[in-house]
Amino acid sequence: MIEYDHKKVEKKWQAYWEKNKTFQAVDFSDKEKFYCLVEFPYPSGDGLHVGHPRSYTALDILARKRRMEGFNVLFPMGFDSFGLPSENYAIKTGIHPNVITKENIDKYTKQLKSLGFSFDWDRVFSTTDPGYYKWTQWIFLKLYEKGLAYKQKIPINWCIDCKIGLANEEVVDGCCERCDGEVTKRLIEQWMLKITSYAEKLIQDLDDVQFLDKIKTQQVNWIGRSEGAEVKFSVDSVTKDILVFTTRPDTLFGATFMILSPEHELVSAITTKEQEAVVESYVKESAKKSDLERTELEMEKTGVFTGSYAINPVNNEKIPIWIADYVLISYGTGAIMAVPAHDTRDFNFAQKYGLKIQCINRPVQELAENEGILVEDVLAGKVCWPHEGQCINSSNDADLNINGLNVETAKTKTTQWLEEKGIGKEAINYKLRDWVFSRQRYWGEPIPLIHCHECGWVPVPEQDLPVLLPTVEKYEPTETGESPLAAILDWVNTSCPECGRDARRETDTMPNWAGSSWYFLRYIDPHNDSVFADGKKLGYWMPVDWYNGGMEHTTLHLLYSRFWNKFLYDCGLVPNSEPYLKRTSHGMVLGEGGEKMSKSRDNVINPDEVVERYGADVFRLYEMFIGPFDQAAAWDTKGIVGIDRFLRRLWILFTSSEKIAETHPEKETLRLLHQTIKKVSEDIEKLRLNTAVSQMMIFQNHLSDLNEVPEEVLQNYLILLSPFAPHFAEEINQLWGNQVTMTYKEWLRYDEKLASEEEVEIAVQVNGKLRGSIIIAKDSKEETVSEESRKIKNVNKHIENHTIIKTIYIKNRLINFVIR
């Protein structure tokens, strides 16, 4: 018998596939298309993480199955190569990010190829390729042209010592990761993308796609739509009104004070002389906190009085204006009306600072009792009642009276009144915020705009794209907080494309998210230099039929890329509003202790070592066998030997020619074959690959026990195995004398009749407790089963001397005698 040499065999077939372009996707083929997409990796210096192949193997199995089912499959791969780690490495070593990125991509490519994924490598690209980011810049200019890009002052994390802006990740416990110095917020003008104008569509169109429910829910919750009203409050000391968003306009009569976020534009204008000092220091303090800390419900709320008063528009009462950092500038209008009697946060705040609490909602007696609350306490403002109630104390002299109404009707009536008086209107608010698209960093796509004193912001003309990243000496941001690009004067200084006068380039670059927001479109036409992708090709391949990625990308990346695709659709440039027909997600691969893999924990598994020792097929099978695909799984070095043994037993089974015979399979073997075809086929569609592998093991255990193995059964087995262990399958196939690849062999169908059992084991229970079991023909009648099961000694023992009140019979499953 020949020994299986995984190193030789795998290399051989990888070379074969590459040479023959076995996995090439054909534009406009007559076959039905299938676009199968996995998230492309960021090529980090550490090399491929064992988590990447989890997603790639699963969809590779799917892609291979689809090819065998006769589809024209597009299964591409690329690299998301702009990003902080490469830039930080450049800062540390002075090596250009281009150099290190190229090295990393080469390493990743080699690693990915060593795993035998059926990618169409002719379509590979990186987001850092000028030929690619030319079109990222072009799409940005489209957004700009359509008014979806604008500048706004946004707070960023600012390290006072390093004088640079920091990513959230670089802020550790409120301090700079590098120098441990103090981090504060600093307002910087940033380019923003109006994703909020697509909020409604981003929710609604989820109805048309097959995303896992949990993914849809995350998207919907992230967008966070809420209906309510915008209300204007006038302020005695300034001319400008304060705009407030509330989901409970019906509680206006209970608004006894108002709170502005410390970043609110009117804070300094309305602060009185006496309060100036406290307000200023409070604003400074809260700039140091993160939003997360500020909204922590457990944390004690803090705030200071501004000295000014606003007028409650429903009752003309003077209410004090405070500032407090639990009100965020990024949500709603950055200002709230506080209704302490019916909002717990406002209630705690009012109690702490001795502010008025006015009850305007009488709790329903029963509900209050359930909560252990006395109605009179709520009425007296001693206890907060944030639930449903009946309006009281809610009328004024200006024709508004909502007393006695429930919350819903009171809301509508109040909003109508506000609209009539011109002091408010119905409004929908989203938690979703516009996308901060600027980075003061080097390693990103330059934003292709030029600022001219005469013409303002002017787009770089299309023929001048891409705006290439210039070579710089230093990668640190400048001391002013601008990107390193600002220091390259001969790059920054240019002329205005419109009037020709001296002008300055935008020095901000795009966030890492930009490149990944449209890469699935570029795979369709990766080498096109005159358009981001040919319209006809897009028409053939889009939408993506199945997109798998990490659960950690189900909010941001998914939302951003859906937004860009919808925008391009509205421009008439792509054929579908939704880019992805189906989206699934996989769980992370953790270290052996069940913790995240990291160098510091010293629990990183290097895929190269696993492939070296066991081979790619074992690695692939193990990653599928490790656990349910959508859940996190801990790596287990011991567990992999089980797969190694499985494949070795298969090798023995397939190569022991003395046992293989041209006979017809026995009934049991045939049944198991059809059960296996069924299970493996269905499990692949549901990505339940762990149980698909188990089933193949069960079948292997059976076949290995036979003295005579029918050849046709083995041939079928090999077809089922081939998407999982493609190198192994090709090798056996060739040993059997076949000269062509298995890639386009026909996938199997199962016969339901042959797959079904003739006899079943039925559990016999007495009062729900298992007392025995019988084996009986499938679909037997109740009487037969009842009769047979009562013959069991142990069952009879429990039944005799009792009356059977009820018999429950579940066909082919169990019978339960309920006795007294």
In whole angstroms, the minimum distance from the beta carbon of 634 to RNA comes to 6
Query: What CA–CA distance (Å, rounded) separates 616 from 110?
Result: 13
Q: Classify 265 as helix, strand or coil.
A: coil
Q: Is 741 in the site for RNA (CB under 7 A)?
A: no
Site string for RNA, 661-690 (x = CB under 7 A): ---------------------------x-x
Q: In the sheet that 72-74 helps form, which strands lie side by side, from edge to edge?
A: 72-74, 33-38, 546-550, 582-586, 210-211
Q: Is 37 in the site for RNA (CB under 7 A)?
A: no
Query: What CA–CA distance (Å, rounded) separates 80 from 125?
Result: 9
How many residues bind RNA (CB under 7 A)? The answer is 103
Site string for RNA, 693-712 (x = CB under 7 A): xx--xx--x---x-------
Q: Is 214 in the site for RNA (CB under 7 A)?
A: yes
Query: What CA–CA distance (Å, rounded) separates 584 from 429?
Result: 29
In whole angstroms, the minimum distance from the beta carbon of 290 to RNA comes to 7
Give whole-number Cα distances, 74 to 71, 620, 681, 744, in Å: 9, 21, 20, 14
Q: Is 591 in the site for RNA (CB under 7 A)?
A: no
Which residue is listed with tokens 């690619």? 132
Given 453, 596, 664, 802, the residue binding RNA (CB under 7 A) = 596
Given 98, 773, 786, 796, the residue binding RNA (CB under 7 A) = 773
Given 273, 638, 749, 820, the residue binding RNA (CB under 7 A) = 638
Query: What CA–CA distance (Å, rounded) separates 696 from 726?
Result: 15
756 is written with which tokens?
A: 């079904």
Which residue is listed with tokens 């891409």? 466
> In the complex with RNA, which residue's Cβ is closer, 259 or 689?
689
Query: What CA–CA distance (Å, rounded) separates 712 from 747?
Result: 14
Question: What residues from 148 to 207 belong to the interface with RNA (CB under 7 A)?
Answer: 154, 156-157, 165-169, 188, 190
Cβ–Cβ < 8 Å for 636, 592: yes
Span interacting with RNA, options 9-17, 65-73, 274-282, 546-554, rule CB under 7 A:
546-554
Q: What share of the chain is helix, strand, coil (3-state, %, to 5)?
A: 40, 20, 40
Identify residue 133 by its one-letter amino acid code.
Y
Q: Is 639 in the site for RNA (CB under 7 A)?
A: yes
Q: Is 224 in the site for RNA (CB under 7 A)?
A: yes
> In the complex with RNA, which residue's Cβ is closer, 319 or 672?
672
205 is written with which tokens?
A: 């169109």
Q: Is 292 in the site for RNA (CB under 7 A)?
A: yes
Query: What CA–CA distance (Å, rounded) separates 813 from 679?
Result: 20
Q: Is 85 in the site for RNA (CB under 7 A)?
A: yes
Q: Classify 307 as helix, strand or coil.
A: strand
Q: Is 810 in the site for RNA (CB under 7 A)?
A: yes
Q: Is 287 in the site for RNA (CB under 7 A)?
A: no
Question: What residues from 307 to 326 belong to the interface with RNA (CB under 7 A)?
Answer: none
Query: What CA–CA distance (Å, rounded) separates 272 from 279?
Result: 9
Given 304, 339, 496, 762, the residue binding RNA (CB under 7 A) = 762
DSSP one-letter code for 388: -
Q: Is 761 in the site for RNA (CB under 7 A)?
A: yes
> In the complex with RNA, which residue's Cβ is closer, 310 or 551?
551
DSSP one-letter code for 304: E
Q: Is 435 in the site for RNA (CB under 7 A)?
A: yes
| Cα-to-chain-centroid distance, residue 727 | 32
Q: Is 798 in the site for RNA (CB under 7 A)?
A: yes
Given 276, 296, 479, 708, the residue binding RNA (CB under 7 A) = 296
> In the complex with RNA, which residue's Cβ is closer, 204 or 330?
330
In whole angstroms, the minimum distance from the beta carbon of 580 to RNA comes to 17
Query: Phi first, then psi: what are they for 579, rounded to 5°?
Result: -75, -30
> In the complex with RNA, which residue's Cβ is closer, 415 or 789?
789
Q: Is 780 in the site for RNA (CB under 7 A)?
A: no
> In the complex with RNA, which residue's Cβ is closer, 705 or 800?
705
DSSP letters along 202-219, please? HHHGGGGSEE-HHHHHHH
Identify any residues that bridge with 211 across adjacent strands, giving them in sequence order.
583
Given 152, 204, 217, 656, the residue binding RNA (CB under 7 A) = 217
Question: What residues from 365 to 394 belong to the interface with RNA (CB under 7 A)?
Answer: none
Q: Is 625 in the site for RNA (CB under 7 A)?
A: yes
